[in-house]
Structure 1
Amino acid sequence: MATCATGKNRTSGKHRRPGRFERTTARAAGVAAITATGVIGTLAAPALAAEPAAAPEQTGFIPVVAVGSTVADEIDAQAAAQEQSAYEAEALRKAAEEAARKKAAEEAKEKREAEERAAREAERRLLGSFVAPVAGSNLSTSYGTGGSLWSSGSHTGADFTAATGTSVRAVGAGTVVQAGWGGAYGNQVVIRMNDGTYTQYAHMSSLSVSAGQTVTPGRQIGLSGATGNVTGPHLHFEARSTPEYGSDLDPVGYLRSRGVAL
């Protein structure tokens, strides 16, 4: 049987221990393969694998924790509920303010209307009231007294005691229709009263109103005197159904029927 001159034949089917060169080559190839795949831990020596992992480096950054979708939904729901609650509270506050504003406006309106009603009522009472033509005066000559001093044969009015310069007042509300000289009546004022009757004030020393002027009860219309056909200072007062002479009414009864105590 022929043999190779450079080496011996290996027996077929037999295992033999690899040589030093073969072991070195295989180790190098294994390291290269492990390095390429990134798998290092499997080759670590037992002593090195058992070493504890190094503590994470303290960088100062707050660690980020991943939150599950359920927790995140709950947080969103709470935030939405808080926002809705704040919205409702603001709406309630605005509604309360609007209600308070409306209430204050209604109360102010009611107060204003009540004051206006009270003023109208006071004016109505005032315009409907009557006073004596001379405050604190007494009657000196009664209505209907007969004598030659009067052209009609009797006194057509009532005389009130009053020194010259005493204030003469409108007995009620009305409009002046005459103011000036009246012959035997001297300086006179005739007023159409609001109830349609007329009143006359005669023998005054001066007048303080003019025709067309409106007056209220107690308004001064002049000062008493002794002008015209008189025997001394006093106020001659008449009540009439018309502004003309001869339509006279009982002046005392006229005033008393309107609440004036004489």
Structure 2
Amino acid sequence: MAFIRATGKHRAPSRLTRKSAKVAGIAALATTGVIGATASPALAADSEVTAGSTGLTQTVALDTTLAAQIEAQAKAQKHQAEVAAKAAAEAKAKAEAKAEAERKAEARAKEAREEKARAARAAERARLNAFHLPVAGSHVTTGYKSGGALWSSGSHSGVDFQAASGSSVVAVGAGTVVEAGWGGAYGNNIVLKMKDGTYTQYGHLSSIGVSVGQSIGSGEQIGLSGSTGNSTGPHLHFEARTTPEYGSDMDPVAYLRAHGVQV
């Protein structure tokens, strides 16, 4: 009867079986990496360096990207500030130009107003200083120094202007009344002292409208024509004198023409 070894957990493995198991265990350790860490330290160190190097590169890349974004934002902000500053400068320049244009326009308008006022004053002065015919639209009927028995001196000391009775008689120029009333042969008469120091006389009036000392404007009515005094009919006797007295007469036509009056 042959001897049979008992089987089960009490059975010792054979040498071949133990060898195979050892080989399988080594292979398993190699697969899990334990053997690699134990048997090859250099390889493990290389793996750690590689992993660390990769993380640093990623960090540097992120920092570079962030710096680029910040720089781009800074450039954009600077550009916006420059654009805003340029726009503000242009707006300021336009406002200053507008203000200057308005100032010049106002200066021109003021100058125009002043020129208009000067022209008005000049026109008024011209009107006041202008000379007129003593009877508008009239003409001389008896000339200066005409001879005859009608005049006590033997000659006419003035000129006679045609004028119907009651015609308006005006001052030939601006002056002051020095005589207003009865003048003997002159009838109702007025004598004016003119602004240039000469005198004018208006005789044979039917009525007197001014009084002594009164200032008279050029062309202002002073009386009405008539035929009072030594007169043969309605007319205006007009004289120009160097003094208010009789005998200081000068050519009245030449006098009027010297002051721009067409006679």
Q: Which residue of 1 aligns with 2:248?
A: 247
1:20-42 residue CA offsets vs partner (Å, 9 max, x unmatched):
xxxxxxxxxxxxxxxxxxxxxxx
Q: Which runs of 4+ in 1 moved over 4 A?
A: none
The amino acid that maps onto 1:72 is Q
* Displacement of 1:66: 11
Q: How does 1:10-49 map onto structure 2 within 5 Å?
A: none
**Would the alpha carbon gap of residues 211 and 91 (structure 1) be closer, same or farther in structure 2, given more than 3 Å must change?**
farther
1:49-99 residue CA offsets vs partner (Å, 9 max, x unmatched):
xxxxxxxxxxxxxxxx99932122123213312331232133113202210
Given the two structures, how large is their TM-score scaled by the length of structure 1? 0.66
Q: Equivalent residue of 1:68, what SS?
A: helix
Q: Which residue of 1 aligns with 2:104?
A: 103
1:89-134 residue CA offsets vs partner (Å, 9 max, x unmatched):
3311320221012111210122123223323443444344322211
Q: Equivalent residue of 1:164, what SS?
A: coil
Paired with 1:86 and 1:101, the residues of 2 have a C-alpha distance of: 22
The amino acid that maps onto 2:174 is A
RMSD after superposition: 2.6
Q: Which residue of 2 aligns with 1:154?
A: 155
Greater Cα offset, 252-261 or 242-251 = 252-261
Paired with 1:209 and 1:79, the residues of 2 have a C-alpha distance of: 85
Paired with 2:133 and 2:116, the residues of 1 have a C-alpha distance of: 30
The amino acid that maps onto 2:182 is W
* Displacement of 1:242: 0.7
Q: Equivalent residue of 2:244, what SS?
A: coil
The amino acid that maps onto 1:182 is G
Q: Which residue of 1 aligns with 2:70?
A: 69
Paired with 1:180 and 1:86, the residues of 2 have a C-alpha distance of: 84
Q: Equivalent residue of 2:262, what SS?
A: coil
Q: Which residue of 2 aligns with 1:18?
A: none
Q: Which residue of 2 aligns with 1:176?
A: 177
Paired with 1:150 and 1:227, the residues of 2 have a C-alpha distance of: 15
The amino acid that maps onto 2:107 is E
Paired with 2:199 and 2:245, the residues of 1 have a C-alpha distance of: 9
Q: Equivalent residue of 2:132, what SS?
A: coil
* Displacement of 1:247: 0.8
Q: Equivalent residue of 1:230, what SS?
A: coil
* Displacement of 1:158: 1.1
Given the two structures, how large is their TM-score scaled by the length of structure 2? 0.66
Q: Which residue of 1 aligns with 2:131?
A: 130
Paired with 1:147 and 1:88, the residues of 2 have a C-alpha distance of: 93
Q: Is the 8 A contact 1:142 1:155 kept in 2?
A: yes
Q: Which residue of 1 aligns with 2:61?
A: none
Q: Is the 8 A contact 1:126 1:216 kept in 2?
A: no
| Identity %, equivalent residues | 57
- The number of equivalent residue pairs is 198
Paired with 2:221 and 2:111, the residues of 1 have a C-alpha distance of: 36
Paired with 2:262 and 2:157, the residues of 1 have a C-alpha distance of: 20
Paired with 2:151 and 2:221, the residues of 1 have a C-alpha distance of: 28
